[in-house]
Amino acid sequence: MTETLSHAASAADIVDGLTLEQKAALTSGASFWRTKQVGPVPSIMLTDGPHGVRKQDESADHLGINDSVKATCFPPAVALGSSFDPELLERVGVALGEEARAEGVGVLLGPGINIKRSPLCGRNFEYLSEDPIVSGVLGSALVRGLQSQGVGASLKHYAANNQEDDRMRVSADIDPRPLREIYLRGFQRVVEDEQPWTVMCSYNRVNGIPASEHHWLLTEVLRDDWGFDGLVVSDWGAVTNRVNALAAGLDLEMPANDGRSDAQLVAAVRAGELDESVLDTGATRVVSLVQRALAGADADASYDRDAHHGLAREAAAASIVLLRNEGGVLPLAPEASVAVIGEFARTPRFQGGGSSHINPTRVDSALEAIREVAGAGAVAFAPGFTIDGSDAAGLADEAVAAASAADVAVLFLGLPASLESEGYDRRDIELPVEQLELVDRVLAVNPNTVVVLSNGGVVRLAPFAERVPAILETWLLGQAGGGAVADVLYGAVNPAGRLTETVPVRLQDTPAWGNFPGEHGHVRYGEGLLVGYRWYDARELDVTYPFGHGLSYTTFEYGDAVVSSDDDGLALRVPVTNTGERDGAEVVQVYTSLPGSAVARAPRELKGFAKVALAAGERREVEVRVRRSDLAYWDTRVDLWLVEGGEYTVEVGASSRDIRGAVTVDVEGDPVRVPLTVESTIAEVMAHPVAGPMVAPAFAAMAADMLGGAHADGEATAESAGGLGIDAEGMMQMMGAMPIGRAVMFPGSPFGFEQLEQLIASANAPQA
């Protein structure tokens, strides 16, 4: 049976042989994690995701309440993103695929690539960045790796699921440009480049329509514009109207609902309210997915737990961001006596709560790993506080005593698991107050203090960022994070992570402040395009650490950049030299802007990056390519991506605020013909390739007339002010802003309504 399904018959033929009831049955789950076995179509398993395999046997749930089988807990997306390393994410994807295959899982529910709109989002630890290029490039790499193993990805949560509060109902109200340029751009890239087997619709509404019933999102954009050929699955419980959802392009409803909504589909077809061909399409996509999963399945598959733990450690180390290192406190000398302080060193926080919660094959603590390097005798430990903030009496005093007796104090701070999870957002971005107090007390007795942070979302670091000599942001590092922290502390690994999100000075400075999490069912994305660093740069706000920032134990020098442009986009080449004494890796970042652009833009936007490993003293020419499509903005007049022509500034930097060079390049714009209407302004008509030459002389004459005959050539003088008190330039501006249909009513208009209609018709006629 399986043979027939996977190799011989086409999915459409199989669906042809099914009854109406069977077809409806195919499009919803059999259980929490399985599709239905229907006729010749076997059932397959879908399982969370995204940074490990969360396969549950009994007592299934999607909130991480019940345990799943043991699996490697790789670093969550917040950490992996900071690696800025697509090749690494691809390898993690391969390993995830191997584990999924060994567990008989056909689709792993990830990656999540939603944009980090506000640091308050409780689920930011599951997402990659505040920037769509980073999310798209790294998300693609993970999908590529995973699917290379014959296991499908589920790109989620499509779309605009940028908060947890009220996530099942809230409408994300977003203007077309930010929706396309920020919130959909990463999804578009992954779909176009990698064709994930499935895309998961989100719970929320987008501009008033539930994502599960959003024909524009699920069909017009996803399939018609981007060419998606896979299956759309609902987030678990996202469907409220199955008939509308199927018609909108949602193929598979999960989880099971006792056949209730299957019956609704059958009834709708019988009543003539739903075309049976729509159901055929959905059912065919389910069968195709099953075929793909069966083709990838291997009953004998297994994986090497130790090797995966090793990869998890490598990935964790590559994800750590060295935020500050004054006076070369790091790396630590192995012979230094160390006071390890903070419960997180002994009880690591390595993943977030909810559906991504993995049952790890093992967990390394940083304390053990440090003791392995430095010897147990040289490492004192004091918990300093309790993770939930209770019963801490005496712990801080003991920690301060340990710190004062050691050469170096390494202070592990972080957020308790209860503060960040799927399902709810944070209320602030503060570290617990007892931890902040401990920093001050430890610093007072030992200036050689290193802070190591464990948090899934950004925390405010301003209280100590200028006073603590060394800070490591380790995010949530997965099960092997403890060893990775020791690797970086002692220099076995030279840190090379970079921030994929800004660390703001205050919550009040953040882009969505005042518009998060919304009210009465709506959240207005009032910051528009200015998300993340785009906002801080546009407003010239100080930040504690900028997007793209991260230090190394070595230093990198940039030479002169050159940029070239061709039909595919831009290529920036810059020599980079490792000027220090250690091997290391630099993340070369390329930002563009277009001074004088006709549309609103952020001061700089990341368009490409390259991570490059350089041995001590090595110099290499690094090339970063920028796709032409990434230069485009979404033009709301014609509903198209458009590259605006002009002289672009291309900056190359070590962070968004550490720009090492800038070059300019001329880019030819896409031809655009905005259809003219009577409401088009005179300036728009004059700029039109067909109508412009026809009307320009007439309007120049009209302007001259209105100025009393003076200086229609545009030469501006005080004398030319005429009766209106403005000069020729002002007159052209005033007229330019006038809709042409209104201008014909004014005295001196060069033509009447009829001629205007003819002009518009010939301007809009298709050109030969």
Cα 377 from chain centroid (whole Å): 44
In whole angstroms, how close is the CB of 197 to ligand BGC at the nearest point? Answer: 14
Looking at 236, 412, 535, 634, which residue binds ligand BGC (CB under 6 A)?
Answer: 236
Per-residue CA distances from 132 to 59, 116, 198, 336, 634 (Å): 37, 10, 20, 43, 14
Query: Does 443 help bind ligand BGC (rule: CB under 6 A)?
Result: no
**What six digits make up the tokens of 375?**
């010897």
Q: List, as one string, the DSSP characters of 664-709.
A: EEEEPPPP--PPP-TTSBHHHHHHSTTHHHHHHHHHHHHHHHHTTS
Calpha distance 211→114 (Å, rounded)? 14
Active-site residue (options: 225, 235, 537, 635): 235
Calpha distance 43→35 (Å, rounded)? 5
- Helices within 324-394 (DSSP H only): 343-346, 366-374
Closest CB to ligand BGC among residues 49, 353: 49
**What six digits make up the tokens of 315?**
């990935």
For residues 227 and 1, the answer to whether their CB atoms sit within 8 Å is: no
Looking at 49, 145, 482, 518, which residue binds ligand BGC (CB under 6 A)?
Answer: 49
Closest CB to ligand BGC among residues 200, 710: 200
In whole angstroms, how close is the CB of 252 to ligand BGC at the nearest point? Answer: 13
Query: Would you give the binding string for ligand BGC spanning residues 56-75, x where CB under 6 A is met?
Result: ------x-------------
Closest CB to ligand BGC among residues 74, 591: 74
**What six digits make up the tokens of 18?**
């099914």
Element (H, E) at 46: strand 46-48
Instruction: List binders of ligand BGC among 453-492 (CB under 6 A).
Output: none
Which residues, listed in sequence order, are joined to residue 551 by a DSSP beta bridge? 322
Query: Does 109 help bind ligand BGC (rule: CB under 6 A)?
Result: yes
Q: Which residue is nearest to ligand BGC (CB)?
A: 62
Closest CB to ligand BGC among residues 237, 447: 237
Instruction: List binders of ligand BGC among 116-175 (CB under 6 A).
Output: 156-157
Query: Would you give the binding string for ligand BGC spanning residues 315-354, x where CB under 6 A is met?
Result: ----------------------------------------
Query: Does 76 help bind ligand BGC (rule: CB under 6 A)?
Result: no
In whole angstroms, how close is the CB of 33 to ligand BGC at the nearest point? Answer: 8
Query: Does 607 help bind ligand BGC (rule: CB under 6 A)?
Result: no
In whole angstroms, how close is the CB of 231 to ligand BGC at the nearest point? Answer: 15
> How many residues of this chain bind ligand BGC (CB under 6 A)?
9
Closest CB to ligand BGC among residues 212, 720: 212
Query: Does 355 help bind ligand BGC (rule: CB under 6 A)?
Result: yes
Looking at 131, 235, 605, 651, which residue binds ligand BGC (CB under 6 A)?
Answer: 235
In whole angstroms, how close is the CB of 238 to ligand BGC at the nearest point? Answer: 8
Catalytic annotation on 235? yes
Query: Would you give the binding string for ligand BGC spanning residues 404-423, x where CB under 6 A is met?
Result: --------------------
Calpha distance 332→321 (Å, rounded)? 16
Calpha distance 455→457 (Å, rounded)? 6
Angle at 547 between CA 545 and CA 549, to 5 degrees: 60
Q: How many helices (H) does the chain have, and how many strands (E)?
A: 25, 29
| Residue 481, burial from CB neighbour count under 10 angstroms (0-12, 13-18, 19+) | buried
Looking at 23, 27, 35, 48, which residue binds ligand BGC (CB under 6 A)?
Answer: 48
Instruction: List binders of ligand BGC among 642-671 (CB under 6 A).
Output: none
**What six digits make up the tokens of 752?**
């009447």
Closest CB to ligand BGC among residues 242, 711: 242
In whole angstroms, how close is the CB of 200 to ligand BGC at the nearest point? Answer: 7
475 Rama class: left (phi>0) / alpha (psi -120 to 50) / beta? left
| Residue 659, burial from CB neighbour count under 10 angstroms (0-12, 13-18, 19+) | middle
Closest CB to ligand BGC among residues 233, 650: 233
In whole angstroms, how close is the CB of 480 to ligand BGC at the nearest point? Answer: 23
Element (H, E) at 81: helix 77-82
Active-site residue list: 235
- List of residues contacting ligand BGC (CB under 6 A): 48-49, 62, 109, 156-157, 235-236, 355
